[in-house]
Amino acid sequence: MPQPPRLTGHALIADYVSRLDSSPGVYRMLNERQEVLYVGKARNLKARVSNYARPSGHSARIARMISETRYMMFLTTRTETEALLLEQNLIKQLKPRYNVLLRDDKSFPYILLDKSHPFPEIRKHRGARTVKGAYFGPFASAAAVNRTLNHLERVFQLRNCSDAMFAARTRPCLQFQIKRCSAPCVGKISEAEYGRTVADAERFLEGKSTAIQQELAEEMQAASEALEFERAAALRDRIAALTTVQQSQGINPRGVAEADVVALHMDGGQACVQVFFIRAHQSWGNHDFYPKTGSGAEEAEVLEAFLGQFYDTKEAPRLILLSHPIEDLDLMQEALAGKAGHRVEIAVPKRGEKAELVENALRNARESLGRKMSESAAQARLLRGLAEAFGLPKPPERIEVYDNSHIQGTNAVGGMICAGPDGFLKSQYRKWNIKGDELTPGDDFGMMKEVMTRRFARLLKEDPERKTDAWPDLLLIDGGAGQVSAVHEIMAAMGVTDIPMIGVAKGIDRDLGKEEFHRIGARPMALPRQDPVLYYIQRLRDEAHRWAIGAHRAKRAKAAMANPLDEIPGIGATRKRALLQHFGSAKAVSRAGVTDLLEVPGISQATAETIWNFFNDKM
């Protein structure tokens, strides 16, 4: 980087402006420590940046930002749309203090009809769309997906089992007995009839439930006239289930087939954005977000920044309904359409059904922000009480809580949860597979040493000067004086001695409420049973315990379900599926001879010998 210039603030920016041209692009403002303060885009860099060179007429937020600016960086682009996309990428990557930041961005689940099998499976899906099939979504939450899947199973009786389980079945499972599956695995339904049911399920997810209901009624009447009373009864049950689904759904706008409804409410410098997902004339749930407002941004800036960051990793629908107008509406439409591959319209409705949808989302945003602010005030009181109870210099901004989980040393994992003024910071949770080969099974001290070493060695490497908020203000350790002493020694060996740590021991009779707290150089202490700080620490410890146990159970389940076919060189997903479909189980594959293996499609002589050698060399 260049040597620090003599100029600062407005004079510095004016000096940069004198060397800029009128190209579109992105600019960055940096402070004395060369940290990025702000990232912005411009149709005309010279004209946009010159606004900051004016000595007056700025909001308090912009004035502070200008006064802290010591450097600027510029990237030119071919178009303003490219500048917008680059701006949002840089904001998500650099997280500048004065930009609006979407802190709790997440992926949303979809429903997948997996068509890689003759009898398609229906299931929940997240992530990249690598599987051949039809995707429907997004849904606001896993719960919304599960409700819809539950309806689909009742109405269309599609399978939800894996291909391996499907191939291994010799008789119908419980899903068939409770009329949630048509049992294609054992031939209870033909491939053609199952395919028609899959097509009906697709039409339902596309919002064509009324047409399906009419067709089912006609089929029921025909079956009844043909004296096929059992089939007629089954169709009657499907119609009844479909009617129940239609009655149980919430907001079902008839004039809006596909849209995201995005409403913003701001109060006291905080913001809540509520997003409702409408697909196929049905509401597929809603989700609230609490973006960081960049020390006081206006509504239009907050909403525009939210749209750019929210749809950075998601496909925009054909219609986005907003509660407030944004400045660069045409530009945002063009950028989102380019990424989605179809036309995207952004509108701020004033009347009619669309305006009612926005008003409903706005009401939810207002209520959600009210609850959030109330919770934040209570959280701030707890953190102040925690600081007073343990003599901390200030209320902690980041608390890290550590715990280990194992069964007699097997499948050992270490877990860390994080909490702060906004409550649990779940995006910051971490887990570690304990790798120490020399550890004695069940050695909690050794496990904790490995976890703390790996955690803080990485922190020291990535942020030795503690410029980011990744460093904790307080460590809570599940354990007594021994664990605290061990952690202190580990931290001291790495040169980290200024982070307070507290051990939480079960206390007398391991009774809830009698916890003892251990600190370096201090006598054990306890808190009154009714103290809110005690309840808060119990919640933190229990959350760490839940997180560590969940990680351990997942690791144990994965080990229990490990398929030996995964370890054979040259056996990928396709060949593994073919082997399981042919033999029914990995155990049957292990007993097969080379001649039997050659009967499986896709298994050559060399591959058959490799499989046979893999199992027989172990015997």
Of 412, 459, 460, the closest CA to residue 440 belongs to 412
pTM to 2 decimal places: 0.72
What pLDDT, on a 0 to 100 scale, did the predictor assign at position 408? Answer: 60
The residues pairing with 73 across neighbouring beta strands, listed in sequence order, are: 28
State how far the Cα of 13 lies from the Cα of 65, in Å rounded to an integer: 12
Q: DSSP assignment of 58-90, as one string? A: --HHHHHHHHH--EEEEEE-SSHHHHHHHHHHH
pLDDT beneath 70, residues of the chain: 1-6, 104-106, 207-211, 213, 231, 234-235, 237-252, 406-410, 436-443, 507-513, 559-562, 617-619
State how far the Cα of 81 lies from the Cα of 23, in Å rounded to an integer: 13
Query: Residue 144: exposed, middle, or buried by beta-carbon count in 10 A (0-12, 13-18, 19+)?
Result: buried
Structure tokens at 80: 């303003």
State how far the Cα of 498 lies from the Cα of 486, in Å rounded to an integer: 16
3-state class (DSSP) for residue 214: helix
Distance from the Cα of residue 329 to its chain's centroid: 28
Q: Is the separation of the CB atoms in 184 and 199 below 8 Å?
A: no
Distance from the Cα of residue 230 to its chain's centroid: 45
Q: Is the separation of the CB atoms in 413 and 548 below 8 Å?
A: yes
Q: Is the separation of the CB atoms in 314 and 402 below 8 Å?
A: no
Convert 39-75 to b/e letters by CB count within 10 Å (16 or more is b): bbbbbebeebbbebbeeeebeebbbbbbebbbbbebb
What pLDDT, on a 0 to 100 scale, did the predictor assign at position 104? Answer: 63
State how far the Cα of 39 lies from the Cα of 75, in Å rounded to an integer: 11
Kindly list the structural domains of the chain, giving each domain's residue range(s) and its CATH number in brackets, ordered by start: 9-99 (3.40.1440.10), 109-248 (no CATH), 259-371 (3.30.420), 399-542 (3.30.420.340), 564-617 (1.10.150.20)
HSE (side-chain half, CA atoms, 13 Å) at 135 = 15
Of 615, 606, 603, the closest CA to residue 567 belongs to 615
Q: Is the separation of the CB atoms in 15 and 8 below 8 Å?
A: no
